[in-house]
């Protein structure tokens, strides 16, 4: 049943919902503002304060882990007590087949392996014709979709003690594999952020699809088949509603800005290993979102929200031609039919809903910002703004944050985000209260001393036991394992 704008306005009356356009401060706290824990926070944890407002044990817990310390190796700055290990490195480490690790690491998921090992499936966001790129995903026989395309994903196995690392191809011959997502049944859903058609740039098949990769069963990955029911567009990330079976997908696109999609499975369909492969190309229903505020006013773009706590109701509008045979999916709608957003990026399913990142908004959007994190509650059909970053006035200087991309929900509270902005690049956390703090800084300068350049972070995810944070520096493709004194934040 459709939740109408009138229904949403009636249900929201008197709830104090912040409307789009309401004046409010952006959440622009410096990455280095380690706020002292408040009296209320401490009281909530049952800690007594003395009459002077100090903890009775004479200590205050602060947000984050303290300042980042320069790395003498020039790779990764971390807080005191933390350390890192390089797991794979494009053009340096090798696959089981003897070929080099592919470049441009992106979205990653962690799975529990045998005998305490960890399995990581990592996307490689490599585009164009494979003849023009360094270290494409090798064309492993039986695992190739389009032999002209250079992207795909690899599977990395790390032993319990971290000493043994093995890597092999999970999928090859795809284009620009970006954020992707982990399925509840233990597989990886890899997304193509590229809609090149057969005959364009040497491609032999159409691109812009989602593929399923099984980290446990190599045979299940043979003869790759795109899940065309999920549509053909510039896919970024995907999550699965563990209760209802819907799948939500982000689109990173401009001119016009991209959309958030929902796929509803056909009646009687049950998710599971390999089940997506058996779907027809038009199975289920693919829809794009349409938002409205508490007064029932249509919201044309998510950048309109300028205050944390803004809540929108959500309706869904059916996609006419999901395979975009003649018109790209997002262009099949007028601007009055759907809500758009620039740089819809990573997603993560937790807390009964989807955390969704809009990386930034510029002139192509009604309002500019340097990052939003939203939470969609499917049970209530509501989208809530959890974090917003103001436009960074000088990205070349360390401190302020911009351009969040990949996201994971932390076992220590809040979320962890991978920066894909301008200038200095970080991994950073955000508490449920909206406080941000740095976890790592990329110190690998791939520019010049006079004009430094730092690659984005990607593929941020915790190990199944929560002890290790994995993340990648996308270029030159370095997968890292970060360990340290993790503790609850906020």
Q: Is the four-CA dihedral 129, 361, 356, 259 of positive or negative sign?
A: negative
Residue 418 near residue 460 (C-beta atoms within 8 A): yes
Residue 191 near residue 249 (C-beta atoms within 8 A): yes
Nearest to 155 by CA among 193, 117, 108: 108
Residue 12, pLDDT above cutoff 90: no
Q: What contacts 451, CB < 8 A, 6 or more positions away?
A: none
Where is pLDDT greater, at 51 or 467? Answer: 467
- Within 13 Å of residue 86, how many CA atoms lie on the same side as its CB? 13
Q: How far is CA 171 from CA 114, 142, 157, 238, 247, in A?
A: 22, 9, 16, 17, 21
| CA pair distance 85, 69, nearest whole angstrom | 16
pLDDT (0 to 100) of residue 60? 54
Read off the pTM.
Answer: 0.89
How high is the mean pLDDT of the chain? 89
Residue 256 near residue 340 (C-beta atoms within 8 A): yes
Q: Which of 49-58, 383-392, 409-418 has the lowest mean pLDDT?
A: 49-58
Q: So where are the chain's domains?
A: 31-53+60-93+391-490
Burial of 321: CB neighbours in 10 Å, binned 0-12, 13-18, 19+: middle
Q: What is the pLDDT of residues 132-184, one digit of tens each?
A: 899 999 999 999 999 999 999 999 999 999 989 999 999 999 999 999 999 99
């Amino acid at each position: 049943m459709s939740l109408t704008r009138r229904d949403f306005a009636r249900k929201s009356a008197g709830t104090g919902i912040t409307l789009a356009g309401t004046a409010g401060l952006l959440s622009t706290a410096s990455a280095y503002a380690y706020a002292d824990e408040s009296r209320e926070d401490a009281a909530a944890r049952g800690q007594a304060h003395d009459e002077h407002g100090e903890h009775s044990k004479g200590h205050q817990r602060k947000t984050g882990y303290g300042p980042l310390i320069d790395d003498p190796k020039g790779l990764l700055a971390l807080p005191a007590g933390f350390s890192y290990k390089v797991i794979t490195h494009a053009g340096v480490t090798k696959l089981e087949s003897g070929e080099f690790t592919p470049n441009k690491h992106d979205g990653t998921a962690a799975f529990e392996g045998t005998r305490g090992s960890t399995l990581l499936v990592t996307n490689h966001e490599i585009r164009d014709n494979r003849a023009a790129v360094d270290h494409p995903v090798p064309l492993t026989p039986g695992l190739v979709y389009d032999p002209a395309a250079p992207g795909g994903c690899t599977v990395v196995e790390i032993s319990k003690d971290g000493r043994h690392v093995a890597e092999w191809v999970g999928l090859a011959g795809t284009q620009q594999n970006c954020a992707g997502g982990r399925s509840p049944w233990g597989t990886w859903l890899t997304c193509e952020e590229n809609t090149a058609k057969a005959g364009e740039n040497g491609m032999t098949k159409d691109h812009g699809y989602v593929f399923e990769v099984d980290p446990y069963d190599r045979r299940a990955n043979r003869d790759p088949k795109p899940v065309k029911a999920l549509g053909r567009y510039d896919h970024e990330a995907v999550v699965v509603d563990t209760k209802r079976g819907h799948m939500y997908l982000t689109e990173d696109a401009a001119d016009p800005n991209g959309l958030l999609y929902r796929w509803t499975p056909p009646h009687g369909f049950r998710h599971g290993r390999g089940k997506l492969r058996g779907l027809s190309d038009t199975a289920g229903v693919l829809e794009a979102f349409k938002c409205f505020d508490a007064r029932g006013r249509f919201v044309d773009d998510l950048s309109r929200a300028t205050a944390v706590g803004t809540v929108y109701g959500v309706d869904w509008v059916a996609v006419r031609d999901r395979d975009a045979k003649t018109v790209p999916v997002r262009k099949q709608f007028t601007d009055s039919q759907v809500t758009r957003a620039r740089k819809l990026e990573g997603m993560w399913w937790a807390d009964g809903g989807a955390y969704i990142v809009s990386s930034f908004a510029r002139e192509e959007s009604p309002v500019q910002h340097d990052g939003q994190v939203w939470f969609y509650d499917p049970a209530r059909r509501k989208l809530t703004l959890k974090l917003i970053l103001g436009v960074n006035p000088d990205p070349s200087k360390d401190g302020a944050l911009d351009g969040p991309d990949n996201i994971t929900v932390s076992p220590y509270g809040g979320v962890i985000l991978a920066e894909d902005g301008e200038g200095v690049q970080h991994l950073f956390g955000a508490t449920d209260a909206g406080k941000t703090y740095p976890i790592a800084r990329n110190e690998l300068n791939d520019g010049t001393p006079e004009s430094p350049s730092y690659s984005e972070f990607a593929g941020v995810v915790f190990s199944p036991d929560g002890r290790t944070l994995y993340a990648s520096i996308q270029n030159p493709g370095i997968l890292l394992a970060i360990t340290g004194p993790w503790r609850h934040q906020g």
